[in-house]
Structure 1
């Protein structure tokens, strides 16, 4: 066995056991959809997620080119009474499980009950709707938890008014920190442009994190490929099936987002300026690349499944080959032992002084000749 094979076999237990199991646990907890709203009237305010312990929090960024004010945990009254002072306002709301608070905010800001229902129904596919007075977008945000080795899925909804952008999140923790830092730094065009540019920047970070999650998939699949080549354990095959199911869910998040970004770029939406559509086109291209990556990894998983079957078949063939060699070697030896195990008295070799040595010489000679033939034929 070469050094590379030993390296793979001696991989840390964290990679061989703990990480796949942690990832599997994360997969089981992902993408859970609820049927709580089945049979209820349209526009019912019902939270369908599983996170019930998230505290309610509203953060506010108020900015213009030369000014930034950041406020944490503001009240609902402050959030629903944004002054029309020429500044841009970004409200980030966390804790969709607080349905009454979400309902109060939506009703105060004139958000349609059907859009409010979509905000609270976290199993919705990504979508976009231009109501004329505001723009509604929902997306799926994916993150990879490095500590727990889990993929985290969350629905994020955007409501864009002329001077107000609202983001609704299920929990604390998102992919928007880079955008917040850009706002704080005041560099680039993010403060100079309008809220449609901020919307673009936030959606762009969501799409960019798809690649981060998919890169983690790639790393895990490469480890599985190496283990299959040298170990061929069944748990890797089971993990492949689990990863394939998760990629199907990710595909369900990415594919509809392509339609959302396409409409955002091409449709005549008055809240999206022409100069911003150029940047949105770049997000669309990134979305296509993410879709291609998902399809590539799905094909890779299928090929790894075929590789596993081939490795198992090769192992079985090696076992059968070894057993066949032993069988063929012992067939003539069994015949010789049977001949000299008969109960007749007039067998010449029985009373020969060197009969025992002759017997073993015959046995060993036949075995060596058989092995020599196998070696000459390159059957072993």
Structure 2
């Protein structure tokens, strides 16, 4: 633990405060205890993420085309009582490291133990799985922490049932606020579109937020490019390395999502109406755009790395050029000084009254002529 702390303390301030990059996911991975899950029977509930002090929380939107009821921090018993309602329900659960509470909810809604295991295993690839009475989707939700300038990611699991959507989150804070606003306002199709339309709206906000995160990466890369052209400092190369690692993390979240959305759009899933598939197709297009952006930024990072190496090489060449010119100028001067530094007595110039002035005049003329030749050749 002390060794890890020393590594974090010794990181540059830019990486700790201004640059997110893979620092969050890297440090986070140090404290995961996924290895403890090895050897457990299939379907055994075990949370593989970071255990925190976040309390277990359940919030519910119960709505129809004409009215809506919003409740926060309700108990599991209250949730079970609401399940008999004929209205549409959106149940949002935060703090899935409270395994017993999650298990109680999954048992009540007859969610298969293997699905519950996937909900608690937060390092999974985005996936989709259709069961007899529900549809399970897991994907990565990315958010950009503007205050600390870093990217945060977590797994969000969706359970689509008849007239109900259940979302499982690791911690508080998500990208769903726009959906909550639309539900409260009651505008558009979200209240009368059914639970499958609500699922589409939630997934759409997650995908759209990828563009927000990628835009921050683009701004950061442009700043780095400008600094490299002006300065070319080593810290910029370190930041490019961290950006590259973070981009790999984002790529692992976005690429599998294409398969999930494609299956949700094309497969004959009974809980998703045909009218909703049109909107899901739009999410698929956004996913492809996000993938293209990720690949573009990956290439941009590689090109900036090459640019950094070129700038450093050019700076080194300029230094070597300056040293070479100085050496070329001083080589004849050193030769002249060596000649008049010999210990022979019969050197005519030694007996001249103005021999010393002659020596310095010769040094100046030879040095000036050498510099003039370099100037004519445009070497300086």
TM-score interval for Structure 1 and Structure 2 normalised by the shorter chain: over 0.9
Kept in 1: contact 2:115–2:136 (CA 8 A): yes
Equivalent runs, 1:292-311 vs 2, <5 Å: 292-311=292-311
- The answer for the alignment partner of 1:360 in structure 2 is 360
Distance 2:368 2:13 in 1: 46
Cα deviation 1:131-161 (Å, max 9, x = unaligned): 1210000010000011111211110000010
Residues 224 and 142 of structure 1: CA distance in aligned 2, closer, same or farther (over 3 Å): same
- The answer for the alignment partner of 1:183 in structure 2 is 183
Distance 1:35 1:78 in 2: 36
- The answer for the alignment partner of 2:237 in structure 1 is 237
Residues 15 and 46 of structure 1: CA distance in aligned 2, closer, same or farther (over 3 Å): closer
Cα deviation 1:231-289 (Å, max 9, x = unaligned): 11112111111111111111111011000000000000011000100000000000000
Kept in 2: contact 1:31–1:123 (CA 8 A): no
Kept in 2: contact 1:30–1:151 (CA 8 A): no
**TM superposition shift of 1:227:** 1.2
- The answer for the alignment partner of 2:26 in structure 1 is 28
Equivalent runs, 1:183-332 vs 2, <5 Å: 183-332=183-332
**TM superposition shift of 1:51:** 3.5
**TM superposition shift of 1:79:** 1.7
Cα deviation 1:196-250 (Å, max 9, x = unaligned): 0000000000001101111111111111111111111112111111111111111
Distance 1:363 1:83 in 2: 99
Distance 1:196 1:278 in 2: 12
- The answer for the alignment partner of 1:143 in structure 2 is 143
**TM superposition shift of 1:81:** 3.6
Cα deviation 1:81-119 (Å, max 9, x = unaligned): 434443101100000110000001001110000000000
Q: Which ranges of 4 or more aligned residues in structure 1 deviate by more than 6 Å? A: 14-18
Residues 36 and 312 of structure 1: CA distance in aligned 2, closer, same or farther (over 3 Å): same
- The answer for the alignment partner of 1:378 in structure 2 is 378
Kept in 2: contact 1:43–1:117 (CA 8 A): yes
Kept in 1: contact 2:265–2:277 (CA 8 A): yes
1:127 aligns with 2:130: no
Q: What SS does the aligned partner of 2:59 have?
A: strand
Kept in 1: contact 2:21–2:245 (CA 8 A): no
Distance 2:321 2:16 in 1: 36
Distance 2:25 2:117 in 1: 26
With normalisation by structure 2, the TM-score equals 0.93
Distance 1:30 1:298 in 2: 23
Kept in 2: contact 1:62–1:87 (CA 8 A): yes
Distance 2:235 2:135 in 1: 47
1:110 aligns with 2:84: no
Cα deviation 1:33-73 (Å, max 9, x = unaligned): 63332111110100001142111000000001111000111
Unaligned ranges ≥5, structure 1: 1-13
Count of matched residue positions in the alignment of Structure 1 and Structure 2? 367
Q: What's the C-alpha RMSD, in Å, of the aligned pairs?
A: 1.7
Distance 1:332 1:107 in 2: 92
- The answer for the alignment partner of 1:5 in structure 2 is none
Kept in 2: contact 1:254–1:290 (CA 8 A): yes
Kept in 2: contact 1:89–1:163 (CA 8 A): yes
